[in-house]
Structure 1
Amino acid sequence: SMSADLEDPFILLHDKKISNIREMLPILEAVAKAGKPLMVIAEDIEGEALATLVVNNMRGIVKVAAAKAPGFGDRRKEMLQDIAILTGGTVISEEVGLSLEGATLDDLGSAKRINLTKENTTIVDGSGESNDIEARVNQIRAQIEETSSDYDREKLQERVAKLAGGVAVIKVGAATEVEMKEKKARVEDALHSTRAAVEEGIVPGGGVALIRALQSIDALTGDNEDQNVGINLLLRAMEGPMRQIVLNAGDEPAVVVDKVKGMSGNEGYNAATGEYGDMLAFGLPDPAKVTRTALQAAASVAGLMITTECMITEVEEDAPAAPAMPDMGGMGGMM
């Protein structure tokens, strides 16, 4: 599996490569006695040390996961210190006179849970003191004010976001596995929509945003008749999402679209209740980014199709007719 979850783990932070397992034996034994999993964050883990950790994990002696420390050079040291403050641990660094052999459980950080994937490590509810975290955030914000480099400012802002931002855990439950997977997919869709909304804001949903957009370019004319045909096709296509929503609800698309065009702002049609009104008040927004990219992608595909000489597609086969009922042999004389 390319992911792992550690519940209530210890967190070992080291600013150098770990290749000699003998350096880690004392702390590994202490963690094993405590009966908790261990998360190792270091510059790298290789050779004998990596092989031994894998074997320990497979045998169930100590559940261990490892990740490379984020960043490079001095920035890596600062980010390790961020993690230490977030988790209530200490960075094991020779620069401050600490070594792996001498590390104890008191030097380790902890968290409620850690989720690892191939690309990301998420620490949930670190055990660091809130006052220490706040002081660290203020320190980084002061550096943001002082720096003249846009790149440095961006990286410092990322560190503030990771320290000051929260992590929410959404638990999805259901009576059956099929239902749970369906619910999980819906939650993931909602999360993606929320992230998109944070990036570019929201617009009224239900196809209303596209109706308002087409009304603002209704008077647009091209340089020639071909362009006018294209503009009219686009204006018609921008009604498509609302028409489909209304059709799915069992109503008449032409009537609803015409009525919504006579409205203004966020006003539209709530297909779930059959009411007209403010879509945002109904709780029916769309992320602006999703609406924009959908329109751009559709225009891109349509443009490609227009310039295509030949397209290959599958021919839909008509479903075969149901076979006729067979003769009931020998029963022809029944009345």
Structure 2
Amino acid sequence: MMLNRLSWCCGTGLRSFAKDVRFGVEARSLLLQGVNTMTNAVAATLGPKGRNVLIEQLLISPRITKDGSTVANSVQLRDRRQDMGVQLLRQATNNTNNLVGDGTTTATILARGIACQGMHAIRQGQINVQLLREGILQGSDVVCEALGKMSQSVETIGQVEAVAKVALNGDERLAEMIGDTIMELGECGVVLVKESSGPLDEVRFSQGATLPSGYCSPMFANKSRRSKVEFGNCLLLLTLAKIDQLEQILPVLELAKLKEKPLLIIAKDFSSDLIKILALNHLHGRVQVCIVKAPSFGEEQRLEMQDLALAMGAHLLEGASCLRELKEEDLGEVGSVVVTAKETHLMQPVGVNEDQLQSRIDYLRELVGEALTEEEQDRLNIRLGRLQGYLATIYLGGNSELEATERKDRFNDAMHSVRVAISDGVVPGGGTAFLRCIQALDELPPAEVMEYQVGREIVKDALRLPCYTIAKNAGVDPNEVLQKVLAGTGSFGYDAAKGEYGDLMECGIVDPTNVMRAAISDAAGIASLLATTEALITKQPIKPKIAKNQVTQDLAKLVGM
């Protein structure tokens, strides 16, 4: 139905403004078409035998992935009405991913199931849609409670590796790497994941604080063979000022000479004349000194230097005036310093204020949880690693760039799953945990309100879908698998990787409890909104005008216009 169309003619010009408005069954049907398209793409990745999805990227090579979140964020439909269904579903999956770092595919499958059943119930006859929504949400609350009772704590590295292996679709090598990293760093350790330049995987652990800046001149090196600077019991000066003249740092040089200790200066910048003077001073053996430019630029540089000051027990001197009034307590002291042409390593700081340091660490952890992009998250994790004094960098290789990117996606998901599992426990995997929650819904007393009972039944039917999808992706009869698993009890389920039935907890096939709870909760919330939608309003698509010259026409074709 076309409404709100306004047309008027003035002289020779004609203007029209229009929006497309659809109601009832037609509106919900259009939304559901978009939901089905997105869910079919995402569901293909579920389980140990899930399929790959190839995603086009403008001007660069396509991306291949089995990461449900990446697939969900890549789906965009030309029909705006169908795309609204995609956007609403993506909202639920992104919420799950942001909250617990995994569970995107499961949440998508559950949301589609609940939305389909809800729309079907509304079509059958007179029903109060708001009460139906409340019934669906009540059913999801019961499932969350049942999952909590079913949960078992993670206490061994073997269990950590089991969680990682499931999230990695059965990759034992990467699962062992995650287990070793957690054992080395602890559950709160900072892990950075990067793509390797070769086919091999590698883990590098670094203690203390590492800066991506080296010495300003190789003349400062006191280990000539290795071209590096090594200091022990070193004084540390941190400033955001640009140091142009020797007089600005003369007090701190005299203090270092008096205490007979080496000195490391990290500043915003240094003049070329000052670099030469300090290098000659170092060569003549008057004062052991090395100078390093502060990392980053602008506000990010200020924040990183503030972090470093807290981690090293020093005061950050903001400007040149602070240098003139420098006191001994403004300096930090570091047990070991290693400076190369590209990096600076600071270890064993002395006199750190632990309360202030912990407060800063907690603040950065909150920022990491709120980060919107992978780049922002990596930047915050690097800062967090410096503050904590321990960091692991994992380089993932592959036979091609596509393979390395795909493995990185899976590894990030697995790390999130492991952290959630350690904090909240695990439940049987393979969709079995959801199947066991059906009994909790069956044991509820009959609802006095008919819509509440219908809502419970809708949730109960949706709980079968994760196990069904995993079996379907594995190439076996999903109905037969469902029947056998439902006939069992406890953690008895289907191992899709081996094609066998057994105790999934003993086999190490588990899912983090909080991931499953977030998936069903977010799916119920967004799906009940989809099912109870009555009107759909979209803008009419406007075909852009493209110039007639060949260059612009070719560019338009390239971007799909």
CA contact 1:202–1:286 (8 Å) conserved in 2: yes
Match of 2:428 among 197, 204, 213: 204
| Structure 1 position 21, deviation (Å) | 5.8
Structure 2 counterparts to residues 131-146 of structure 1, below 5 A: 140=354
Question: Is the alpha carbon distance of 1:236 and 1:13 closer, same or farther for their aligned partners in structure 2, counting shifts above 3 Å?
Answer: farther
CA contact 1:267–1:279 (8 Å) conserved in 2: yes
- 1:68 maps to 303
Match of 1:175 among 389, 395, 399: 399
Distance 2:344 2:436 in 1: 44
- 1:238 maps to 463
Distance 1:272 1:84 in 2: 49
Question: Is the alpha carbon distance of 1:247 and 1:13 closer, same or farther for their aligned partners in structure 2, counting shifts above 3 Å?
Answer: farther
CA contact 2:213–2:344 (8 Å) conserved in 1: no
Tell me whether 1:289 sits opposite 2:523 in the alignment. no
Supply the AA of the counterpart residue of 1:29.
Answer: I
| Structure 1 position 38, deviation (Å) | 3.5
- 1:224 maps to 449
Question: Is the alpha carbon distance of 1:311 and 1:8 closer, same or farther for their aligned partners in structure 2, counting shifts above 3 Å?
Answer: same
Supply the AA of the counterpart residue of 1:287.
Answer: P
Distance 1:198 1:111 in 2: 37
CA contact 1:197–1:288 (8 Å) conserved in 2: yes
| Structure 1 position 182, deviation (Å) | 1.3
Question: Is the alpha carbon distance of 1:174 and 1:273 closer, same or farther for their aligned partners in structure 2, counting shifts above 3 Å?
Answer: same
Question: Is the alpha carbon distance of 1:156 and 1:278 closer, same or farther for their aligned partners in structure 2, counting shifts above 3 Å?
Answer: farther
CA contact 1:214–1:238 (8 Å) conserved in 2: yes
| TM-score between the two structures when normalised by the length of structure 1 | 0.57
Task: Tell me how many residue pairs correspond in the alignment.
Answer: 250
Supply the AA of the counterpart residue of 1:155.
Answer: S
CA contact 1:18–1:45 (8 Å) conserved in 2: no
- 2:346 maps to 127
| Structure 1 position 283, deviation (Å) | 2.5
Supply the AA of the counterpart residue of 1:196.
Answer: V
Distance 2:389 2:427 in 1: 26
Question: Is the alpha carbon distance of 1:154 and 1:98 closer, same or farther for their aligned partners in structure 2, counting shifts above 3 Å?
Answer: closer
| Structure 1 position 158, deviation (Å) | 3.6
- 1:53 maps to none
Question: Is the alpha carbon distance of 1:92 and 1:6 closer, same or farther for their aligned partners in structure 2, counting shifts above 3 Å?
Answer: closer
Query: Which structure 1 segments of 5+ residues have no match?
Result: 47-64, 71-75, 115-123, 144-151, 314-335
Distance 1:83 1:31 in 2: 30
Match of 1:304 among 521, 529, 542: 529
SS of residue in 2 equivalent to 1:167: strand
- 1:332 maps to none
| Structure 1 position 166, deviation (Å) | 3.5
Structure 2 counterparts to residues 16-35 of structure 1, below 5 A: 18=241, 25=270, 29=275
Distance 1:238 1:231 in 2: 11
Tell me whether 1:97 sits opposite 2:343 in the alignment. no
1:298-330 deviation line (CA, Å, top 9, x unaligned)? 1012210232113589xxxxxxxxxxxxxxxxx
| Structure 1 position 214, deviation (Å) | 2.1
- 2:492 maps to 267
- 2:504 maps to 279
Please state which structure has a larger fraction of its residues in helix: 2
Structure 1 stretch displaced more, 163-172 or 290-299: 163-172
CA contact 1:208–1:242 (8 Å) conserved in 2: yes
1:131-153 deviation line (CA, Å, top 9, x unaligned)? x57x95xx84xx6xxxxxxxx89
CA contact 2:244–2:271 (8 Å) conserved in 1: no
CA contact 2:310–2:357 (8 Å) conserved in 1: no
CA contact 1:267–1:277 (8 Å) conserved in 2: yes
Question: Is the alpha carbon distance of 1:6 and 1:205 closer, same or farther for their aligned partners in structure 2, counting shifts above 3 Å?
Answer: same
CA contact 2:427–2:511 (8 Å) conserved in 1: yes
1:162-195 deviation line (CA, Å, top 9, x unaligned)? 6667322111111211111111112122122223
State, as a whole percentage, how many aligned pairs show the same letter. Answer: 29
Supply the AA of the counterpart residue of 1:258.
Answer: Q
Question: Which one scores higher on RCO, CA 8 angstroms, separation ≥ 6?
Answer: 2
- 2:359 maps to 155
